[in-house]
């Protein structure tokens, strides 16, 4: 089983972060019970000083290089990933995509309608590379901007509705698509370090959302048990 993490700045993480990818790697190592590999064309964290993804300074230096792989980018969204996902799934031979995208699209690039169309294109392109690929999608978690920008908050809500419809429309037995549940207890004050990007508690909650969806729907892995 070959897992690939796909996401924006919340997924790539910055220098010094553990990342929710790390938390998922820990979870898979203790509960998956079958051979698995983490794949992807990138391994770096974002360096906020250099303003480029060149850092290897994970909070845990023992995080294996082989498990650091991903397809995530600071400032990248569905708009950026849809055109490259077919070639990446083919090259990496990915079986399961764990995807957290949309906030950056809505904040800077596209409205909810176009963002949802890009998400549909992403799913279609992934299947063109692997007709049996599985996908778990996380709804957008509105960030601190949504507290003071009502139109932006409304676009986040509308996109999540459209994403749920897309999942229902595109789900297939041979290539299932799951919509993970937003962690009910997720608090942007307590679970992020800046109102957007997850700190350690937020990382655990994001990883738990993906782990819970796979366990409940597909029987993969066990219940998520937060580590340190």
* Residue 91 tokens, joined: 């090259």
Statement: 2-218 belongs to CATH 3.40.50.720: no
In tens digits, the chain (228 residues) has pLDDT values of: 999 999 999 999 999 999 999 999 999 999 888 899 999 999 999 999 999 999 999 999 999 999 999 999 999 999 999 999 999 999 999 999 999 999 999 999 999 999 999 999 999 999 999 999 999 999 999 999 999 999 999 999 999 999 999 999 999 999 999 999 998 899 999 999 999 999 999 999 999 999 999 999 999 999 898 865
Q: At a CB cut-off of 8 Å and minimum separation 6, what does 172 contact?
A: none
Q: Where are the domains of the chain?
A: 2-218
- Take residue 90 and report the two structure tokens written for it: 């083919």
């Amino acid at each position: 089983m070959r897992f690939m993490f796909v996401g924006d700045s919340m997924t790539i993480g910055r220098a010094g972060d553990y990342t929710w990818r790390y938390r998922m790697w820990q979870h898979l190592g203790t509960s998956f019970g079958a051979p698995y590999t983490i794949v992807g064309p990138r391994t770096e964290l974002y360096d906020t000083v250099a303003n480029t993804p060149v850092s290897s300074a994970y909070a845990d230096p023992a995080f294996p290089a082989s498990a650091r792989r991903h397809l995530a980018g600071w400032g990248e969204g569905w708009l950026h990933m849809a055109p490259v996902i077919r070639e990446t799934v083919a090259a990496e031979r990915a079986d399961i995509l764990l995807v957290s995208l949309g906030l950056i699209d809505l904040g800077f690039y596209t409205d909810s309608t176009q963002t949802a169309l890009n998400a549909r294109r992403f799913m279609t392109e992934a299947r063109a590379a692997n007709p049996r690929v599985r996908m778990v999608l996380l709804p957008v978690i509105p960030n601190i901007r949504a507290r003071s920008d009502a139109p932006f908050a409304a676009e986040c809500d509308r996109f999540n509705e459209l994403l749920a419809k897309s999942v229902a429309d595109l789900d297939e037995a041979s290539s299932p698509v799951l919509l993970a549940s937003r962690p009910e207890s997720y608090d942007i004050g307590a679970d992020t370090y800046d109102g957007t990007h997850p700190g350690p508690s937020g990382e655990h909650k994001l990883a738990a959302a993906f782990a819970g969806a796979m366990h409940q729907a597909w029987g993969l892995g066990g219940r998520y048990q937060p580590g340190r």
